[in-house]
Structure 1
């Protein structure tokens, strides 16, 4: 998440400008007239990864609308521009029924499908807010690995819990929240405590939202959070270890699997629907 930041005059690190003292070393900070910077993502590669995820999500959502036999223009707040269940199933929605009928590849593809305009808007806004912060602490490669594996973990738990049909990037986004929660607890100190407090607020909001709003896949959210914590622990973060070839290879593997799965989902969905039209 982007924070207004200032360079600490003592340790030289970028720290949150909302505080009167450095979150790294505890030194007093100068007034806001100092050199303030915006900590956004940790590099161009991070922006490329996040923008790429958003573009693919939007493209796959538009494809689901294109091949849908009946796109909803009403249906309440969350039903606007909703593709039908048939097109979602063919493109790779997951759950107990799709996994048993189509296969485990849907555990990946479901992370790039959405049930309406507001559904994808909220998920992509959350990714745009949280993704850069994860990139800043873990690096772009590790962020993408966490995003991919957390989404799969969330949907594996959903299937085990008996959720019949589910889609959305929220499990993967929850994985990023879980990674930040682990980072804050593991790092400790003033900065780690600040991260933990903020992320804990998000986790509480997720629980409340899941209990209040109907149709929320809380199993997917919970599995994503746990997946993000586990992935973050296994991969480590920048303060403890730099990104290396293992992290980049893992990110490349996740990318290849995602591309293959989405290409297959596109081919399969378009092919089946084209046969039905003849």
Structure 2
């Protein structure tokens, strides 16, 4: 008896009985759910956002180490607080004392040490393409930017004096995936929700155990990501529109302007 047609657990399309994989997304009909979490071939062709964000974070970390060396601050692989403050760390000190509201953006591209950078970039490498696949490149970048800004705004309101790291933005991406999995449902949606819920719990436990973790930024980023996922929608509900691309362009212009502003403050003229 030939195999029967089934519903693709990834994209929800029909996989015919004589097909070994979905003709829409490339998912094999025999894939277990944890294999469905890997990026598809379509994502590999379109995911330019995550590598670009990764490169920006690495470049700014390199700049912070150069300034660290020049100013004899911090250690070899750990930028000092004065260097991070110059480059756009966020918190009550830079915002209240120096009026640097733009640090809500720049802090997402700074890191306090090589391990801090490594862990966040590994997470971005895993999560970023996944969000691109479900939301599209433009919406992913909007979620990353707004989630990070909201996370650091919550952190500022909570009174955190000085903070950096891409984790607020990453929690925004995690929040969007959490919303996607819960809202989509089905085999794939439920698998996504279970997987991402585990991440949320791990982040929560990590924040309790490890001192110095900005839990306010993580929580704010998560809430911001959930809200943006609901407002923007995901690919299966509606494709990306010119409005989404315009929002991504606006986020890109603001981000570039802020990062250049931070560099200008360090290297005037």
1:54 corresponds to 2:50: no
Q: 2:188 aligns with which of 191, 200, 203?
A: 191
Tell me which residue corresponds to 1:84.
80
Q: Distance in 1 between matches of 2:33 and 2:151?
A: 35
1:70 deviates by 2.6
Tell me which residue corresponds to 2:72.
70
1:45 corresponds to 2:56: no
1:66 deviates by 1.0
Q: What is the RMSD of the two structures over their aligned residues, measured on CA atoms?
A: 2.4
Q: Distance in 1 between matches of 2:79 and 2:42?
A: 33
1:8 deviates by 4.2
1:194 deviates by 0.7
1:45 deviates by 3.3
SS at match of 2:206: helix
Tell me which residue corresponds to 2:129.
132
SS at match of 2:237: coil
Q: Distance in 2 between matches of 1:58 and 1:71?
A: 19
1:163 corresponds to 2:165: no
Provide TM-score, normalisation by structure 1: 0.83
Q: Distance in 2 between matches of 1:165 and 1:132?
A: 30
Q: Distance in 1 between matches of 2:151 and 2:106?
A: 13
Note if contact 2:88-2:103 (Cα within 8 Å) is conserved in structure 1: yes
1:83-125 deviation line (CA, Å, top 9, x unaligned): 1111110110000111121421000000000001011010000
Note if contact 1:40-1:132 (Cα within 8 Å) is conserved in structure 2: no
Q: Distance in 1 between matches of 2:194 and 2:103?
A: 35
For structure 1, the residue ranges without an aligned partner over 5 or more in a row are 24-36, 74-79
Q: 1:143 to 1:41 in 2, by over 3 A?
A: farther
Q: 1:202 to 1:19 in 2, by over 3 A?
A: closer
Tell me which residue corresponds to 1:240.
237
For structure 2, the residue ranges without an aligned partner over 5 or more in a row are 1-9
